């Protein structure tokens, strides 16, 4: 077994180390979600924590790590012989991103159950992680149904498995740690809320600290055992402190004053539900125990808020989690003034805002700036270089709205999502087939039908049905898949006419919101002047796409052909990387083609490439005004897709839906 990197040798990352240690002291805190860029010691710190956890006593031979002092009476391996125990280190179990549901929760051997009548259960990773650490790297890339199962087990402390009439329940209490890179996509808000604490990590910008990181890592790589031994005293001290804090934890007093501080802070940040209050209370108690105190102070409440609230505060879909520390300090100070509490207050220098505001709004140019420049191709659609005189300042996107449903026709087999029909492991049963590999979802009726004609030849006696391996049938299911939605946005001067770009950005932002809700990957191609650019390669982070859209400049001619060809190249490369994920191309334009030689003919030729390959496409017609040329509709015909206007794209305004809900509630 390789020697893990020492926990105490991790340079910096104080919040990360504190959050992990608090969960080691009190697993009831609910785990940690670590968000940060790649190469910031996220995985290293988590793996190092496992070596600090005290050894645990287990019942010998129990596959579910039952505690010999209080064994689980409902354990599948019960009954256990009393008084028999053995010690072993706490485990750290890693859940791969590509794991199946059966690998996570366990599986029943359906073939043995049918052929031999044996109800055999094979435990999964949840059972292996009981009383240890369950680590999920890149948790944001895990399928949603697996995240649901994982978080339900973490919340209930038990795992329930139902398979073809057989029910199994076993204890599953573990320290849940997930890591993720936000650039690869965000977790859904309802899943974020299930993690107790969250920590943002980033590489240090201090040269001395970066030098120390490299120096320690090189020393560890040269001789892991010697490097770990050099940190042995520090590791032992932290291990002893964890044991002492666990012993002290039941005696920590959480007074009414601290509870009111917690409630005041949660109300000030408008968090939904009561989970935030409960997690803050448990975290503040663990902080006091870690500090060797039996009373929770205001400083514990403040630190608990910084760890438990950033991912729970109410925010827009494309806003990153964060907490305004100035507001936090002000809230605690006002509470202290109003309550007359003598507890020490938080430090006054709480630092700057922690990213709790909304998206930054770029400066908007004068209302009439360039309004006439792109009204007609012959008026002002010059060939300015990016940043040149013909470029106009980015405009703010209009208010997003709920869009009509757009989907890819046919049935795919791509990643789980909510946009288009697909053959999946989860969904409604549509048929049966012979199993290819291990049988996972039995189609009982098809299995009986396959076995029935052979009963006389098999010497069937009595009422039993003789079933052989060849009779087994796998259920085929149909669910929904997530697509690659590639936005091809016209940013030319004609799109800036009559302040049209604000509405266009609002429409694309609305479509991005729809992609976020439907589990899609997104990409962004823009074209203007004389060329097209890939503003954002295909990614799961719709937040990055929204940020690029916000700063999108406009101006110049309309190289429609270049935009379509660039989009075609992006799809070709993405098809090599992920052949199963189907694409939906959304072209946002007024249909004019004015850039390059023979612009109209080249645009038509490029559009026919999409039609020839059967790529699903939608053209969002942005043409406005009393006189319309219908060029976007012609482009849609050549693409083999459909055209919708901005008005037709809109279903109901989000603001209108909120007002309607409020009116009904009143």
Please name which of 5, 557, 522, 502 lies closest in space to residue 229, comparing C-alpha atoms: 5
- Could you tell me which residues come within 8 angstroms of residue 146 by beta carbon, excluding any fewer than 6 positions away? 99, 101, 104
Instruction: For 167, list phi and psi in degrees, rounded to 5.
Output: -115, 130
Q: Tokens 């590509």 correspond to what residue? A: 98
Cα–Cα distance measured from residue 514 to residue 518, given in angstroms and rounded to the nearest whole number: 6
Contact criterion met (CB below 8 Å) for 129 and 172: yes
ω into 587 cis (within 30 of 0): no
Cα–Cα distance measured from residue 67 to residue 211, given in angstroms and rounded to the nearest whole number: 45
Instruction: For 491, list phi and psi in degrees, rounded to 5.
Output: -115, 25
Cα–Cα distance measured from residue 81 to residue 630, given in angstroms and rounded to the nearest whole number: 81
Task: Give the tokens for residue 168.
Answer: 């199994």
Task: Give the tokens for residue 392.
Answer: 């106009």
Contact criterion met (CB below 8 Å) for 41 and 290: no
Cα–Cα distance measured from residue 628 to residue 631, given in angstroms and rounded to the nearest whole number: 8
The answer to whether 275 is a known catalytic residue is yes
- Could you tell me which residues come within 8 angstroms of residue 368 by beta carbon, excluding any fewer than 6 positions away? none
Task: Give the tokens for residue 231.
Answer: 């940190």
Q: Please, what sign has the CA dihedral across residues 73, 77, 79, 83?
A: negative
Cα–chain center distance at 356: 19
Cα–Cα distance measured from residue 658 to residue 400, given in angstroms and rounded to the nearest whole number: 13
Alpha helices in 223-344 (DSSP H): 224-230, 232-248, 256-268, 275-290, 298-308, 325-339
Residues composing the chain? 666
Instruction: For 253, list phi and psi in degrees, rounded to 5.
Output: -100, 125
Quote the longest CA-to-CA distance of the chain: 91
Please name which of 63, 62, 104, 91 lies closest in space to residue 1, comparing C-alpha atoms: 91
Cα–Cα distance measured from residue 434 to residue 257, given in angstroms and rounded to the nearest whole number: 64
Cα–Cα distance measured from residue 289 to residue 247, given in angstroms and rounded to the nearest whole number: 9
DSSP tally for the chain: helices H, then strands E = 22, 22
Spot the catalytic one: 188, 239, 275, 396.
275
Cα–Cα distance measured from residue 280 to residue 276, given in angstroms and rounded to the nearest whole number: 6
Q: Angle CA(647)–CA(649)–CA(652) in degrees, nearest 5?
A: 80
Please name which of 333, 439, 22 lies closest in space to residue 198, comparing C-alpha atoms: 22
267-301 exposure pattern, b = at least 16 Cβ within 10 A, e = fewer: ebbebeeebbbbbbbbbbbbbbbbeeeeebbbbbb
Q: Please, what sign has the CA dihedral across residues 288, 291, 292, 295?
A: negative
Q: Tokens 């259920």 correspond to what residue? A: 475
Strands 650-653 and 583-589: unpaired
Alpha helices in 314-434 (DSSP H): 325-339
Active-site amino acid positions: 275
């Amino acid at each position: 077994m390789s020697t893990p990197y020492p926990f105490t040798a991790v340079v910096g990352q104080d919040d990360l180390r504190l959050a992990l240690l608090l969960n080691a002291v009190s697993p009831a805190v609910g785990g940690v979600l670590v968000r940060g860029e790649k190469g910031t010691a996220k995985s290293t710190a988590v793996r190092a924590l496992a070596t600090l956890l005290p050894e645990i006593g287990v019942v010998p031979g129990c596959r579910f790590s039952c505690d010999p002092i209080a064994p689980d009476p409902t354990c599948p391996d019960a009954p256990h012989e009393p008084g028999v125990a053995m010690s072993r280190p706490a485990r750290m179990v890693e859940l791969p991103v590509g794991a199946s549901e059966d690998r996570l929760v366990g599986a029943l051997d359906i073939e043995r159950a049918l052929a031999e009548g044996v109800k055999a259960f094979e435990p999964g990773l949840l059972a292996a992680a009981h009383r240890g650490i369950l680590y999920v790297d890149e948790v944001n890339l895990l399928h949603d149904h697996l995240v649901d199962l994982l978080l339900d087990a973490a919340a209930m402390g038990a795992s329930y498995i139902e398979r073809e009439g057989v029910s199994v329940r076993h204890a599953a209490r573990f320290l849940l740690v997930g890591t993720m890179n936000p650039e690869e996509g965000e977790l859904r808000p309802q899943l974020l809320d299930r993690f107790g604490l969250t920590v943002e990590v980033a590489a240090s910008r201090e040269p001395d600290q970066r030098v120390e990181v490299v120096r320690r890592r090189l020393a560890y790589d040269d001789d892991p055992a010697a490097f770990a031994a050099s940190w042995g005293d520090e590791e032992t001290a932290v291990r002893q402190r964890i044991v002492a804090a666990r012993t002290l934890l039941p005696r920590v007093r959480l007074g009414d004053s601290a509870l009111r501080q917690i409630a005041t802070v949660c109300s000030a940040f408008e968090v939904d539900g009561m989970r935030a209050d409960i997690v803050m209370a448990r975290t503040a108690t663990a902080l006091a125990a870690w500090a060797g105190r039996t009373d929770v102070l205001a400083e514990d409440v403040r630190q608990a808020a910084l760890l438990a609230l950033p991912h729970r505060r109410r925010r827009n879909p494309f806003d990153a989690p964060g907490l305004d520390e100035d507001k936090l300090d002000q809230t605690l100070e006002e509470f202290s003034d109003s309550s007359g509490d003598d507890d020490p207050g938080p430090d006054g220098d709480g630092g700057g805002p922690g990213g709790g505001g909304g998206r930054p709004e770029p400066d908007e140019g004068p209302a009439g700036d360039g309004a006439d420049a792109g009204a007609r191709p012959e008026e002002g659609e010059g060939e300015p270089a990016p940043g040149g005189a013909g470029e106009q300042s980015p405009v703010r996107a209009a208010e997003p709205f709920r869009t009509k449903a757009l989907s890819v026709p046919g049935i795919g087999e791509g990643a789980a999502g909510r946009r288009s029909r697909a053959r999946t492991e989860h969904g409604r049963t549509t048929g049966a087939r012979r199993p290819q590999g291990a049988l996972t979802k039995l189609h009982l009726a098809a299995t009986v039908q396959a076995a029935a004609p052979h009963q006389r030849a098999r010497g069937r006696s009595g009422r039993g049905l003789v079933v052989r391996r060849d009779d087994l049938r796998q259920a085929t299911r149909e669910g929904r898949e997530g697509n690659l939605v590639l936005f091809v946005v016209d940013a030319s001067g004609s799109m800036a006419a009559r302040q049209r770009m604000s509405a266009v950005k609002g429409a694309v932002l609305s479509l991005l919101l729809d992609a976020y809700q439907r589990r899609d990957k997104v990409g962004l191609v823009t074209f203007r002047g004389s060329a097209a650019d890939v503003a954002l390669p295909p990614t799961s982070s719709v937040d990055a796409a929204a940020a690029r859209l916000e700063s999108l400049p406009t101006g110049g001619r309309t190289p429609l052909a270049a935009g379509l060809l660039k989009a075609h190249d992006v799809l070709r490369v993405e098809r090599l990387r992920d052949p199963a994920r189907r694409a939906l191309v959304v072209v946002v334009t007024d249909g004019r083609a004015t850039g390059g030689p023979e612009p109209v003919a080249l645009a038509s030729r490029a559009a026919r490439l999409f039609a020839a390959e059967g790529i699903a496409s939608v053209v969002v017609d942005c043409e406005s005004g009393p006189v319309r040329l219908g060029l976007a509709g012609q482009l849609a015909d050549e693409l083999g897709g459909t055209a919708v206007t901005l008005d037709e794209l809109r279903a109901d305004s989000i603001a209108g839906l909120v007002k309607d809900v409020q009116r009904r509630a009143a």
